[in-house]
A = this chain, B = another copy of it.
Amino acid sequence: MSASKSKSVPTIGDIADVVGVSRSTVSRAFGRPNLLGADTVKKIQKAAEKLGYFPNQAARALSTGRSGNLAIVVPDIANAFFPPLIRAAQLAADNFGMSLLLGDSNEDPAREFTLLNRLVVQAEGLVLVSSRMPNKKIKEIAGKHPLVLINRDVSGISRVLIDTSSGVEDAVAHLAQTKHRRIAYVGGPSVSWSEQQRSRAVRRAAAREGLAVEYIGRGYATFDAGREAAGAVIAARASAAVAFDDVVAHGLLAGLNELGYRVPQDVSVIGCDDVLGAETYPALTSVSARHMEAGRIAVEMLLKMIEDPTSSDVRITLDTKLVLRATTAPR
Contacts and interface: CB of A to CB of B under 8 A. Distances in A.
Contact of A120 (B1, B65, B67, B227): B1
Interface stretch (A76-84, A127-135, A160-168): A76-84
Contact of A144 (B4, B90, B143): B4
A284 to B, nearest CB: 11
Interface in A254-313: 254, 257-258, 277-282, 305, 309, 312
A124 interface: yes
Contact of A90 (B3, B102, B280): B102
A145 interface: yes
A251 interface: yes
B4 A309 contact: yes
Copies per assembly = 2
A101 interface: yes
Given A58-B122, A83-B78, A277-B223, A146 B4 contact: yes
A41 interface: no
A122 B144 contact: no
Given A251-B279, A253-B281, A69 B122 contact: yes
Contacts of A121: 1, 54-57
Interface residues of A, number: 69
Interface in A62-78: 62, 65, 67-69, 76-78
Contacts of A87: 76-78, 104
A173 interface: no
A2 interface: yes
Contacts of A52: 144
A245 to B, nearest CB: 12
Contacts of A118: 97, 99
Nearest to A142: B4
A15 to B, nearest CB: 16
Contact of A61 (B58, B97, B99, B253): B58
A129 to B, nearest CB: 14
Contacts of A59: 58, 62
B120 A104 contact: no
A3 B64 CA distance: 12
A115 interface: yes
Nearest to A278: B223
A65 B122 contact: no
B122 A57 contact: yes
Contact of A305 (B4, B69, B94): B4
A175 interface: no
A115 B101 contact: no
A52 B145 CA distance: 13
7 contacts: A1-B124, A5-B143, A57-B122, A99-B119, A100-B102, A102-B102, A257-B281
Per CB-CB distance, the 6 closest pairs between chain A and chain B, nearest first, are: A254-B281, A58-B61, A77-B87, A102-B102, A58-B62, A4-B309
Given A57-B121, A99-B101, 16 more contacts: A1-B120, A1-B123, A1-B124, A4-B146, A4-B312, A56-B62, A58-B61, A58-B122, A59-B62, A78-B83, A86-B102, A91-B104, A101-B102, A254-B280, A254-B281, A258-B281
